[in-house]
């Protein structure tokens, strides 16, 4: 887990919410977190990223497995999978612009959104590899990790809203199957609702990373007058009767929330909300966490 927070990270530079204040002050219950990204590997030798956050440079500097080989520019990064065109998931692509040893795998919709509306992303054009929804592709140039992108209910990024309508290819989950064991993981950082397709993917996985952006629907409104509610922003809240926690609690295997906004009370390890998540057997992802499928 390279980065477990949503866009802005924790603390967010312009935010004085309680979590950000405590994280800045070094409160051990509210450790700092970077913006959302995961690294996956079948063998510890070749790696792929799920999303490239604005913090990717710092994240890779802390991930020994992803360091270039000494004396070379040979980097064990194979693929960067992009699950939506939100700034916190794609800005790191520009940070990784040198040499482009890697592929960027996403849908044609997301690729075109980036290339057509952001001239800087055209630097990366040769690296893009567009896949259709549910079309299998292999990670790490190996045979072990078979991946697919599937549609989840979401929201077209704010910066694209006026330019292009929403589409099923705009917000994705990633399923990865280890073909050696048959075990699956799913990464779904932006989920507006748990529709039947999304639920089936989560239920069929042994390890799942689920949108934990907000605890409650009005969370941002309490910090910023006029802010939209969580679902309008494309994120199903964790808490409450209709929240994701009530449904995820019963699933076997491991479930982790990721992509937490800095306002989310679960980021305070001592909060009642964090205790509730733990009590129901769900985990809150942390930067630097290593998990084995």
**Site for Zn ion, rule CB under 5 A:** 6-7, 12, 15, 17, 20, 86, 88, 262
Nearer to Zn ion, 23 or 217 (CB): 23
Q: Which is nearer to Zn ion, 6 or 230 (CB)?
A: 6
* DSSP β-ladder status, 137-138 and 128-130: unpaired
Instruction: State the first-to-last Cα distance of the chain, in angstroms, to the nearest integer.
Output: 13
Min dist CB 254 to Zn ion, Å, is 22
Residue recorded with tokens 């910066």 = 159
- Kindly report the number of other CB atoms within 10 A of residue 58's CB atom: 15
Beta bridge partners of 80: 49, 104
From the CB of 34, what's the least distance to Zn ion, in Å?
12
**Cβ proximity to Zn ion, 30 vs 75, nearer residue:** 30
Please state, in angstroms and rounded to a whole number, the distance separating the CA atoms of residues 87 and 78: 22
Tell me how far, at minimum, the Cβ of 7 lies from Zn ion, in Å: 5
In the sheet with 207-211, reading across from the earlier edge strand, the strands are: 137-138, 145-151, 172-178, 184-188, 207-211, 254-258, 283-284
Nearer to Zn ion, 13 or 72 (CB): 13
Shortest distance in whole angstroms from residue 226 CB to Zn ion: 17
**Which residue lies nearer to Zn ion by CB, 79 or 262?**
262
User: What's 213-259 look like in SS3?
Assistant: CCCCCCCCCCCCCCCCCCCCCCCCCCCCCCCHHHHHCCCCCEEEEEC
* 170-194 core/surface letters (b: 16 or more CB in 10 A; e: else): bbbbbbbbbeeeeebbbbbbbbbeb
Nearer to Zn ion, 42 or 188 (CB): 188
Residue 57 CB, shortest distance to Zn ion, in Å, is 18
- Give the nearest distance from C-beta 275 to Zn ion in angstroms: 21
Helix H or strand E segment including 173: strand 172-178
């Amino acid at each position: 887990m390279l980065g477990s927070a949503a866009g802005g990270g924790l603390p967010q530079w312009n935010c004085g919410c309680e979590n950000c204040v405590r994280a800045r002050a070094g409160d051990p219950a509210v450790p700092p977190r970077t913006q959302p990204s995961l690294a996956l590997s079948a063998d510890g030798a070749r790696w792929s990223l799920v999303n490239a956050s604005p913090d990717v440079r710092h994240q890779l500097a802390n991930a020994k497995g992803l360091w270039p080989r000494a004396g070379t520019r040979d980097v064990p990064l194979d693929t960067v999978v992009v699950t939506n065109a939100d700034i916190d998931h794609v800005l790191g692509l520009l940070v990784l612009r040198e040499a482009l040893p890697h592929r960027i795998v996403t849908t044609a919709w997301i690729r075109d959104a980036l290339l057509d509306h952001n001239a800087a992303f055209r630097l990366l054009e040769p690296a893009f590899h567009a896949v259709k929804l549910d079309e299998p592709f292999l990670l790490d140039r190996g045979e072990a990790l078979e991946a697919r992108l599937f549609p989840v209910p979401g929201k077209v990024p704010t910066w694209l809203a006026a330019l292009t309508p929403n589409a099923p290819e705009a917000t994705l989950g990633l399923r990865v199957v280890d073909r050696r064991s048959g075990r699956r993981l799913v990464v779904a950082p932006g989920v507006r609702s748990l529709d039947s397709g999304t639920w089936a993917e989560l239920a069929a996985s042994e390890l799942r990373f689920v949108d934990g952006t907000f605890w409650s629907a009005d969370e941002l409104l309490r910090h910023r007058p006029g802010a939209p509610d969580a679902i309008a922003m494309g994120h199903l809240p964790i808490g409450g009767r209709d929240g994701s926690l009530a449904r995820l609690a019963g699933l076997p295997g491991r479930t982790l929330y990721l992509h937490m906004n800095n306002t989310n009370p679960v980021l305070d390890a001592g909060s009642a909300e964090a205790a509730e998540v733990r009590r129901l057997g769900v985990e809150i992802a942390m930067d630097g966490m290593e998990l084995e499928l």
